[in-house]
Amino acid sequence: MYYAELLLVGLIWGCTYAMMALGLTLVYGLLRILHVAQATVFTLGAYIGLLAANYSGSLAVAFIAGAIAAGALGPLIYRFVYQPILDRPPFVALVASIGVLIAMEDGFRLLFGPYGLSFEHNTWFTTTYSFAGMTMNLVQIWMVVTAVVLLSAFAIFATRTRAGVAWRATVSDPPMAESFGISVSGVRYVNFLIASVLAGIAGVLVGLLNNLVEPGMGSVIAYKGLAIIVLGGLGSVPGTLVASLALGVVESYGTVFLDKVLDRDAIAFLFLIVVLMIRPQGLLGRR
């Protein structure tokens, strides 16, 4: 039972990672940019969601506000940070992205104070359900439900809709897609919009789960997100999902059984190194 509970804990973590890492994979697939500043979008979503919740008293409003704020910030970062340097080598964009992350971390601190903020009425956290000796709270349940619903919606969008086909065409061959009348720039904005909305919602959920929204909450998940997309095979969406869940589970067991030797965050990178030694192309990547 104990091991089953650890597995469940790991899968919940995996869902958080999946919502963050999918956006990173999308951006990487389209522009070959390692979008570290996604963590800024995640943190902004959490802050706006928290302020909306404390102001309105409604968690539904929190998710809508968080998603809108994040959905606005992501495309703005693309327009004003990445677009002017798209013709440079990819590491230029990576450095710019890290710059945004670090600057915004202290920006959040100036705006919202250094102590971090908490939800006044985090009813989802205190509502718990017990079954078979395991206890889950409503935030954890929503984390899983939201991840499954949003990621399935994305899969349907990518495979069944015209916009989704246009998006995939742009990923595989931008000039060819453009010659078929697809607006490459439009696809890029939609790409950042989807990635950012997912990150913003993940931010609100993580804020609820910790009952704490703090300036630096994005930095760990940003770098772990990079580990996940490499682990999944760069640019592979199914690989990213598998890697997210796998990492969540490895961390869940690792924090209990390897805690004397390794930090939880070190486990992520050790796992990455081991997998890359065995499968250099990533879990589901193609050679």
Partner 1 sequence: MQIKSGSRLLVAAALGAALVAPASAQTIKIGFHAPLTGFAAADGKSALNGAELAVEEINAAGGINGRKIELVVVDDQAKADQAVPIANKYIGEGLKIVVSGSYSGPTRAAAGVFQKAQIPYISSYAIHPDITRAGNYVFRTSFMGEVQGRAAAKFIGDIMKKKNVTLITLNNDFGQSLSAGFKEAAPKFGVKVISEYTYAMGDRQFGSIVASVKRDNPDMLYVSGYFFNGGPLVAQLRAGGIKTPILGTEGFDTHNFIKIAGPAAEGVMITTSLDRDSKSPAMRKFIDDYEKKFNTPADMVAASTNTAINVAAAAIAKAGSDDPAKIRDAIAGTKDFQVSTGKISFNDLGEIYKAAQVQVIKDGKFHHQATIDDPQLLAPPMK
How many CB atoms within 10 Å of residue 96?
19
| Cα separation, 93 vs 95, whole angstroms | 5
In the window 12-51, what residues touch partner 1 (CB under 8 A)? 12-13
Nearer to partner 1, 33 or 246 (CB): 246
Which structure tokens are listed for 206? 């993580």
Does 5 engage in binding with partner 1 (CB under 8 A)?
yes
Q: 137 forms bridges with which residues in the sheet?
A: 128
Could you tell me which residues come within 8 angstroms of residue 158 by beta carbon, excluding any fewer than 6 positions away? 164, 167, 168, 237
**Shortest distance, CB of residue 221 to partner 1, whole angstroms?**
10
Contact present, 195 and 26 (Cβ < 8 Å): yes
Binding mask 55-94 for partner 1 (x = CB under 8 A): ----------------------------------------
In the window 247-286, what residues touch partner 1 (CB under 8 A)? 252-253, 255-256, 259-260, 263-265
Q: Which helix (H) or strand (E) holds 136?
A: strand 134-137
How many CB atoms within 10 Å of residue 86?
14
Binding mask 213-232 for partner 1 (x = CB under 8 A): -xxxx--x------------
Nearer to partner 1, 17 or 28 (CB): 17
Does 116 engage in binding with partner 1 (CB under 8 A)?
yes
Nearer to partner 1, 148 or 266 (CB): 266
| Cα separation, 144 vs 158, whole angstroms | 21
Strand pairing report for 128-131 and 134-137: antiparallel
State the residues that interact with partner 1 by CB under 8 A. Answer: 2, 5-6, 9-10, 12-13, 106, 109, 114-116, 118, 122, 125-126, 128, 130, 134-135, 137, 206, 209-212, 214-217, 220, 252-253, 255-256, 259-260, 263-265
